[in-house]
A and B are shown apart, each in its own frame.
Chain A
């Protein structure tokens, strides 16, 4: 504005003219599709592209994982056929079994045969159990998914809640308590934590059962299962909870310094609304993203919990299969775990994108 602006009079210009109609329209293109109707648009073509891309990207991941495991299993000391037949078996019998299992062929050929079978839906048979691997996996995966879901629920609910409480009141007493709690959780190996929980709450306090999914003597439906679920779920969740809380709290602290938070306070919003309405909404993409990354860790930790608490899931099955040199089951289980991991990450990516209204069109 010139120094001798409107005050200088003289009607030189009319800078205070009413807003031209054109400026009422958002900038070109911004609203050409009309205002976005919902934060979660299912049929968004960008979203479908994202999903398609991620599914395509999953193929090399699954191939790589299965190949690495295949090779790793070859490196396990000891002969599988000898292990299966026992040490009293004759050399001829062992050789015959090796031939039957295809163990004498080059490893790439073995992998190729296995892959071909998998692609046609045949995961092979369990050496130890004699039933198809698919049967074993389908039998166990439900229990694992239940444990994972319960753990994920703990991570999601407490992660966001603790992060909001702590980050929304940075450097307050509650913040310090939460930070201490996450430090404590992060430094807790799940295997060790499982044993501690089992000892304290299972054996000493007798608050929770220590083994399995049902009470053998007196099975009681869902309440019974949930009761059995508590300790394994906590064991599985704790380290991921620490990570999700820490990362989300960091983002929360960042959000709390943004101008729109000051503006919200200046508009007279209560501190509670400022934190839990204005700020928390903006940490959701970060929170969902980091939680999605935890799905893999949760599955990994679930293996430990299943072993400690004898939870009849795929992790326990995998553990037993490794001990028994039941390679088809190991292969199938690993593939199933990898698939769950990929799908979990895909879901969280799609959600995180959908939660960010500024996502590029």
Chain B
């Protein structure tokens, strides 16, 4: 199948070709994270389970505060303070990486599981040249390389990310680069250890549209050429649609719907997914009003009952407020957490 980067898009039309094996690179189950603040304990992530296949791109979507970043960081063993991992397992290479000693987790970070962040410029140390930061990263991720091999590899990585003058970039400080260049540098650093899993937390949020597409194109090409699995965190369904194979819809720290991107975007079951999809501006249907979801997500205590979305859901009935729905199959390829999906995957 024709799939040139400069072609019709990040991914070619149709997108049915999938070099994805069913062999999972990571299997997460029951991931639960609490934040203990002065104003009480909040559950940021509740009982989140999913797998990422080898070479698969999985989108993790949800609006601000839905727990995307916390889930992503938990996989790196870097739950931000005052967060605390309450429960959960993440099998990677046959080991539960949520339970291994910090030293072993550190050895996995960068080398096997890499991360790129939402704020590319802020993710670079302002006081070191790009080349020095790459060198520090390579020291950690590829200790087998000697000094000169490291410099060569640093320049290689920069060239790989489309820099035509890698030496010049290596000699620059982050503040001398544009946001898009910073993100490419960050991706280059993430690739330093040839990871199996790349966690990209809103990698294009801080960038303008043209540069966003460029970065996405790199991620897509990267998956094709290296077979890396990508967890693509985003609040932008359109972005996820263009890149991901499967999508996880997160709300209130819980998975509301999960399935193949084609199925969910063609026919979302969960009212929240529907609302999320409806709020994506569609230039083919010009309207004066943009759809949006009324209200905002409220922090939930650990013992909350009922559906997390009930407070904002147009379809909510009493049962939604008292009884937490389970994640159950709806359609061939999807699972949904909603009381209204009882009957053979259709809506009651």
Contact = CB atoms under 8 A, between A and B. Distances in A.
Given A259-B119, A357-B127, A7 B173 contact: no
Contact of A258 (B122, B175, B176, B192): B122
Given A17-B6, A277-B136, A357-B126, A5 B181 contact: no
B143 to A, nearest CB: 10
A4 B217 contact: no
A4 B107 contact: no
Given A30-B177, A267-B110, A16 B5 contact: yes
B112 to A, nearest CB: 9
B50 interface: no
Nearest to A29: B176
A263 B220 CA distance: 22
A26 B192 CA distance: 22
A27 B208 CA distance: 14
A9 interface: yes
Contacts of A282: 125-127
A35 B131 CA distance: 12
Contacts of B141: 267-268
Interface residues of A, number: 50
Contact of B282 (A2, A266, A271): A2
Interface string A250-283: 0000000011101111111111010001100110
Contact of B140 (A1, A267, A356): A267
Given A35-B129, A270-B106, A282-B127, A26 B114 contact: no
Nearest to B284: A4
Contacts of B189: 267
B5 A26 contact: no
Interface string B1-18: 000011111111111000
Contact of B172 (A9, A23, A26, A264): A26
A267 B114 contact: yes
Contact of B173 (A2, A27, A358): A358
B7 A273 contact: no
B284 A14 contact: no
A8 to B, nearest CB: 8
Contact of B13 (A10, A30, A265): A10
A145 B283 CA distance: 74
A68 interface: no
A163 B119 CA distance: 28
B136 A273 contact: yes
Contact of B127 (A6, A16, A281): A281
A35 B178 CA distance: 14
Given A3-B238, A16-B9, A262 B117 contact: yes
Given A3-B281, A24-B163, A267-B110, 17 more contacts: A5-B10, A8-B13, A9-B8, A10-B8, A14-B7, A15-B10, A15-B216, A17-B213, A24-B169, A27-B178, A30-B175, A35-B173, A35-B176, A260-B126, A268-B106, A268-B111, A268-B141
Given A4-B282, A18-B6, A264 B11 contact: no
User: In the complex, which of the residues A7, A36, A258 has the most CB atoms of chain B within 10 Å of its own CB atom?
Assistant: A7
A306 to B, nearest CB: 39
Interface string B153-191: 000000000111100110111011110110010100110
B242 interface: yes
28 contacts: A1-B242, A2-B282, A4-B282, A5-B242, A6-B9, A7-B11, A7-B241, A16-B5, A16-B10, A16-B213, A16-B214, A17-B217, A19-B162, A19-B214, A26-B176, A26-B181, A31-B176, A35-B176, A260-B124, A262-B123, A264-B136, A265-B109, A266-B114, A267-B141, A268-B107, A268-B140, A282-B127, A358-B126
A317 B128 CA distance: 47
A98 to B, nearest CB: 62
A113 B283 CA distance: 84
Contacts of B119: 259
Interface residues of B, number: 78
Interface in B208-237: 209-214, 216-217, 220, 236-237
A266 B76 contact: yes
A3 B283 contact: yes
B140 A3 contact: no
Interface in A321-361: 355-358
A11 interface: yes
A26 B108 CA distance: 33
A1 B242 CA distance: 9
A18 B214 CA distance: 7
Contacts of B140: 267-270, 273
Given A27-B178, A264-B125, A15 B9 contact: yes
A305 B137 CA distance: 48
A21 interface: yes
Given A16-B217, A263-B117, A358-B175, A9 B239 contact: no
Interface string B322-346: 0000000000000000000000000
B193 interface: yes
A361 to B, nearest CB: 10
B7 A266 contact: no
Contacts of A36: 171, 173
B108 to A, nearest CB: 8
Nearest to A279: B125
Contact of B283 (A2, A7, A23): A2
A3 B281 CA distance: 6
B87 interface: no
Nearest to B126: A358
B232 to A, nearest CB: 13
B184 to A, nearest CB: 8
A26 B15 CA distance: 35
Contacts of B283: 2-4
B240 to A, nearest CB: 10
Given A30-B177, A266-B114, A6 B242 contact: yes
